[in-house]
Structure 1
Amino acid sequence: MSVPSILRTAARNFLPPGRGSSRLRCRALSSCSNTRKMSSKRQMDHLEKTSKDYRQNAVYPAQVCGIIQESDTVKRLRISVHPDFTFKAGQWVDFFIPGVEKVGGFSMCSCPGLLQREGVIELAVKKALHPPAHWIHTACTVGAHVAMRVGGNFFFDPRPTDPPADLLLVAGGVGINPLYSVLLHAAHLARQHHASGGRDYRMGSAHMLYSAKSVQELLFKNTILELSREFPGQFSCDLRVTEPSQDPARDQDILPVTRRGRITEADLRAHVDPQRTLCYLCGPPPMIEAISQSLIDLGLPKDRILFEKWW
C-alpha cells in the first residue's frame, strides 16, 4: 500500500528552505512509518535520541505564564511564545533552561488552535530526577524565561483536500501528551468543517485508548470525555486503570467510565479498518512494541502506524 496522503503532506509541509526536498521527505516518512529502530533504553539523552528527527532551525525565547498541578506527579506549564513560533499537533520541543546544562524534550499537550488564539502553548511534565523535569517541579515560577525549538516527525496535519482518516490514538501514562494535542486538533478540524459548510477538511472518527496506573494519572480525562459528548458517534474514548484506587471516594465521578486492566487486542480490533484507520501510539517501549504487533496482526499496514517513545 502506498503511503497515505496525510503522511506525504506532513513530510512536504516540513521541508525547510534551502535543503534537498527528496532526501528529507524520505527521512520524515521512514520515521513516521514505524521503521525507526525500537529501543527500550530509558536513559538516552533527548538530543541523542532525536538526532535524526526533523527539528526547526530557530530557537525562540519564551516565558512561563502559568503553572497548573495537573496531578500528584505532573505539572502543566502555560508558556507565552514568540509570534513566529509554530508547531504541528503531536510535535515536541527542545526545552532550554538558563543554568541547566541538559536540554529537555517535551511534547506539546495543547493544539495549534490555542497558539493562534492566545499565543501560548502547554507542556505537561512528570516529576523526575532528569534536570529539566526536576527544574520544572522544584524551581520553575511564573515569569521564568526559557527557550524552545520545535521538532519531531510525529504529527497530524491534513490538508483540506486530504481524504478523511479515522484516528486511533493509543496512549500509556504521560504518553498522552502528543495524542491529546492531536485529539484537540481533530476536534478543531471537525468544528471548522461544520462552520465552513463542509469546505474545510472533513474529519473522520477519533477514538482514544488511554491507560494509566491510577485515575489520578489519567491526565486531561475530563476534556477527553467532554469531546466524546460533543461529537457523539464521531469521537469516543476508552480509559483504563492498571492499579486499584487508594481512595475510591475521590474518583467516584470518573470511575463509572473507566475500566481496569491493560489495553488488549480486542480493544484495538473494534477500531481498526485497514483502509481508513491511522493509528498514533505514544507510551513506554514495551507497550508500543506489543500494540504495534497487534495492529499488524489485525491487518493495519505499517505505514499507518505512527509512534513516539519517551522512555
Structure 2
Amino acid sequence: MLVISQAKVCGITNESETVKRLRLAITDKDFTFKAGQWVDFFIPGISVIGGFSMCSSPGLLEREGVLELAVKYTDHPPARWIHTECTLGSEVALRVGGDFFFDPQPGDTPVKLVLIAGGVGINPLFSILLHVADLHKYQESKGNGYKMGTVKLYYSAKNTNELLFKKNILGLMNAFPGKITCRFHVTQQSSKMCEELQPHVTEGRISEKDLQKHVSKDTLWYICGPPPMIESISKLLYNSGVPRNCVFFEKWW
C-alpha cells in the first residue's frame, strides 16, 4: 500500500539560477523511501501531478522527518508552481514511486557503484551518494551493517554553475577519501571555474575510456539524465561486457 502523506514546505533555497531546492516536513510517520526513488507531487488546485526525485537520503527522513527535492524551472505546471508560487508553509501531498534505487541489506555482498549523471539527473544519484555516506558512518560507528565498496560519480553539465550540490559532493569526497570520488564533466564552460573544483573537472563529455576502467563483476551502474545520454552510455556499457542486470537507469524527459 503506497502511503500518500501531507507535507509542508519548511525550506526553499536556490541551488542554481534555474533550480530550487525544497525542504519538506513529512506528516505521516509511515512514509519512507529508498535512495534513488521519486515522488508524485500533488499541489492543491493544480490538476497536473509533478514527478520529482528525492535529492536527500532516506536517513535524513528517519532522523529529522524531512526530505529534499531540487526542481528545475520549466513550464510544466508543478515545476512552475514551485518556482513562482510556492512559499514557506505551502502544503502539498507526496506519494513515493520508482524502481530505480540502491537499498542494500546488512548481509548483502559488497558492491562497487558507478553513478553517471547528466544535468538535473544528479538528483536520485545524489540521494544514493548520501545514503552511501550514511552506510559508511553506520559501519564506522557500529562495526557492522552493510560493508560498502567504492563509489565513483561521473557528473556532466554545461558548465560548473549548472553542477548542483557541487560543494556537498566535494565535502563527501573529503569525508570519505578513496571511498567516494567524483569527476565533473563540463561541455560548454566559458567562465573561470573556482580553484576548489578545478582538480576534479574535465572539459568534454564522459568517455568510453573513463568508464571502461571501472568494468568489473562486482560493479553496479546507475545512470540518470536525458534519454539520448542514457541510450549511448548503456549501449557503451553493454558493448564493454557489463551484464544488463548490473545497469539501472531513470529517464527524465
Q: Please tell me the TM-score bracket, short chain as reference.
A: over 0.9
Bigger mean CA offset, 221-230 vs 160-169 = 221-230
Distance 2:239 2:213 in 1: 14
1:207 and 2:141 are equivalent in the alignment: no
CA distance in 1, matches of 2:48, 2:229: 27
Match of 1:230? 175
Aligned partner of 1:125 among 71, 89, 110: 71
Q: How far is 1:189 from its partner?
A: 0.5
C-alpha separation in 2, matches of 1:176 and 1:113: 18
Tell me, yes or no, if structure 1 residue 184 matches structure 2 residue 130.
Answer: yes
- RMSD of aligned C-alpha atoms? 1.1
Residue number in structure 1 paired with 2:12: 67
Q: Aligned partner of 2:80: which letter?
A: H
What SS does the corresponding residue of 2:115 show, helix, strand or coil?
A: strand
* 1:304 maps to which of 223, 232, 246: 246
CA apart distance, 1:253: 3.6
What is the TM-score of this pair, normalised by structure 1? 0.79
Matched, 1:146 2:92: yes
- Counterpart pick for 1:93 among 30, 39, 42: 39
TM-score by length of 2: 0.97
Question: Which of 49, 62, 68 lines up with 1:103 in the alignment?
Answer: 49
Per the TM alignment, residue 85 of structure 1 is displaced from its structure 2 partner at its CA by 1.2
Secondary structure of 1:124 counterpart: strand
* CA deviations over 1:127-169 (Å, ceiling 9, x no partner): 1000000000000000000000001101111110000010000
Residue aligning to 1:254: 197
SS in 1 for 2:89: coil
Shift in Å, 1:217: 0.8
Gaps of 5+ in 2: none
Letter in 2 for 1:173: G
Partner AA of 1:135 in structure 2: W
SS at 1:308 equivalent: strand
Q: Counterpart of 1:236 in structure 2: which amino acid?
A: T
Paired residue secondary structure (2:222): strand
State the alpha-carbon separation in 2 of the partners of residues 61 and 191 from structure 1. Answer: 30
Q: Does 1:292 align with 2:245?
A: no
SS in 2 for 1:251: coil
Q: Following superposition of structure 1 onto structure 2, how do residues 21-100 of structure 1 map, counting pairs within 5 Å?
A: 56=2, 58-82=3-27, 83-100=29-46
4+ long deviations beyond 4 Å: none
Pick from 171, 179, 192 the counterpart of residue 117 of structure 2: 171
Instruction: Give, in whole Å, the separation in 2 of the partners of 1:125 and 1:270.
Output: 33
CA distance in 2, matches of 1:144, 1:265: 45
Give 1:72 deviation, angstroms.
Answer: 0.4
Query: Does the alignment pair 1:218 with 2:163?
Result: yes
